[in-house]
A and B are shown apart, each in its own frame.
Chain A
Amino acid sequence: MSDSPASRAAAATPPSVARKIRGLSDRAIAWIFVAPTIFLLLAINIFPLIWTINLSFTNFKANSPNREVVNVGFRNYQRILTDSDIWLNMQATAHFLFWTIFFQVIIGFTLAYLINKKFKGNDLWTTIIVLPMMLSPAVVGNFWKFLYQPQIGLFNYIIAFFTGKDPSSFEMLGSVSLAPWSIVIVDTWMWTPFVMLICLAGLRSIPDYIYEAAEVDRASKLRQFFTITIPMVLPFLMLAVLFRGIENFKMFDLVVQLTGGGPGSTTELTSINLKREAFEKWRTGYASAYAIILFVTVFGLASIYVKALNKVKER
């Protein structure tokens, strides 16, 4: 008999257990191994989801558990989808989503294009650029709050230096027109490196011989850029856009740290509004319906994301 780990394990198995296992098929043994994971998945992911769907059709309030729970049908959904205030929150989220993705793609791709060119200190610059992405959103929110301070904030002083305005004459976080842009700036600062890294992976996946063939055909640098670089990087860019889109749709921590949803509700993104409905107003049934609407939207976007990911893999 060999002294392999399997034989030692077999020898150590009590005879009664060994007899039971011998009677099981491979499929049954595989199910025994997988069962704890499936149980955890059901308990942690699927059950709360089904419970939330169930609550979304009721008037349940988590702070009044003894109150009679009435089934209200689709009334919560109807109220959310006809509420002009929530529609405004959706628009604030759309503004945030559109501009963060726009700036992150433009700046991220430009940085990746520059970093892809071999130069001295290339690795050092990559590390420096990637640093913001490694910080916690709570930390980033706090120190940008200091940077945006009208009296002592560096950001205001830099803007004042270029525009000639008084640094304390404008307040980025307190102004209705500037606050939505202040959160766009911070998110762009933090997450552009992520888009840059994905674009860099795309740029580095383009084989040199394609450019060499284009050189032989006397294609100009501009034509090479538009007919080789952009089409080859596009699936990667799409991936970055979808990923950032899904993440920013759920944005909460950074904006809570910076503006708390204010001034008024100009920066109150859907996730902040949802938290207020659920844990400040305690409208649990209503908030559950709200969460399901957001979940279906993110799930739909995630489906497209998976499809795009498969296309990139096929390449």
Chain B
Amino acid sequence: MSNFFNGLMRLRRGPWEMVATILIGLGVFMLMQPFVLWAYTYSFIITLIGTVMFIIVSHFKE
């Protein structure tokens, strides 16, 4: 776990890609879940942040 946070602090690709992947997954889940409308409303912005983050962090060092 400390490796993960160290990687985040030192702007390493692996952990940041993990964060972006989680955001994309969360956004897609929020878009399609049948429980609450507000989650559907905010799904797009979460997916967009995750996707843009993924594009940026994939250029970080390993």
Report whether B28 and A300 are in contact in the complex, using a CB–CB cutoff of 8 Å.
yes
Report whether A297 and B31 are in contact in the complex, using a CB–CB cutoff of 8 Å.
yes
* CB < 8 Å neighbour of B54 from A87, A90, A293, A300: A300
Number of A-B contacts (CB under 8 A): 54
Q: Which residues in B have their C-beta under 8 angstroms from that of A303?
A: 20-21, 24, 51, 54-55, 58
Counting CB contacts under 8 A, is A204 at the interface? no
Report whether A304 and B24 are in contact in the complex, using a CB–CB cutoff of 8 Å.
yes
- Bound: A296/B48 CA distance, A: 6
Report whether A82 and B37 are in contact in the complex, using a CB–CB cutoff of 8 Å.
yes
Report whether B27 and A297 are in contact in the complex, using a CB–CB cutoff of 8 Å.
yes
Q: Is the interface of B mostly helix, strand, loop or mixed?
A: helix
In chain B between 19 and 62, which residues have their CB closer than 8 angstroms to a CB of chain A?
A: 20-21, 24-25, 27-28, 31-34, 37, 40-44, 47-48, 50-51, 54-55, 58
Stretch at the interface among A60-68, A91-99, A150-158: A91-99
Report whether A77 and B44 are in contact in the complex, using a CB–CB cutoff of 8 Å.
yes
Contact with A along B2-13 (1 / 0, CB 8 A): 000000000000
- Bound: A299/B58 CA distance, A: 14
Q: Is the interface of A mostly helix, strand, loop or mixed?
A: helix
Report whether A90 and B32 are in contact in the complex, using a CB–CB cutoff of 8 Å.
yes
Nearest-CB residue, chain B, relative to A80? B44
Report whether A91 and B32 are in contact in the complex, using a CB–CB cutoff of 8 Å.
yes
Report whether A81 and B48 are in contact in the complex, using a CB–CB cutoff of 8 Å.
no
Nearest-CB residue, chain B, relative to A94? B32
The count of residues in chain A whose C-beta lies closer than 8 Å to any C-beta of chain B is 19
Report whether B47 and A87 are in contact in the complex, using a CB–CB cutoff of 8 Å.
no
Q: How far is the CB of A294 from chain B (nearest CB, A)?
A: 9
Contact with B along A164-204 (1 / 0, CB 8 A): 00000000000000000000000000000000000000000
Report whether B37 and A297 are in contact in the complex, using a CB–CB cutoff of 8 Å.
no
Most chain B CB within a 10 A radius of its CB, from A77, A91, A296, A307: A296
In chain A between 230 and 266, which residues have their CB closer than 8 angstroms to a CB of chain B?
A: none
- Bound: A93/B34 CA distance, A: 11
Question: What residues make up the interface of B, taking CB atoms closer than 8 Å to A?
Answer: 17, 20-21, 24-25, 27-28, 31-34, 37, 40-44, 47-48, 50-51, 54-55, 58
Q: What are 21 A-B interface contacts by the 8 Å CB criterion? A: A77-B44, A81-B40, A81-B43, A90-B31, A91-B32, A91-B33, A91-B34, A94-B32, A296-B47, A297-B31, A300-B28, A300-B47, A300-B51, A300-B54, A301-B28, A303-B24, A303-B51, A303-B58, A304-B21, A304-B24, A307-B21
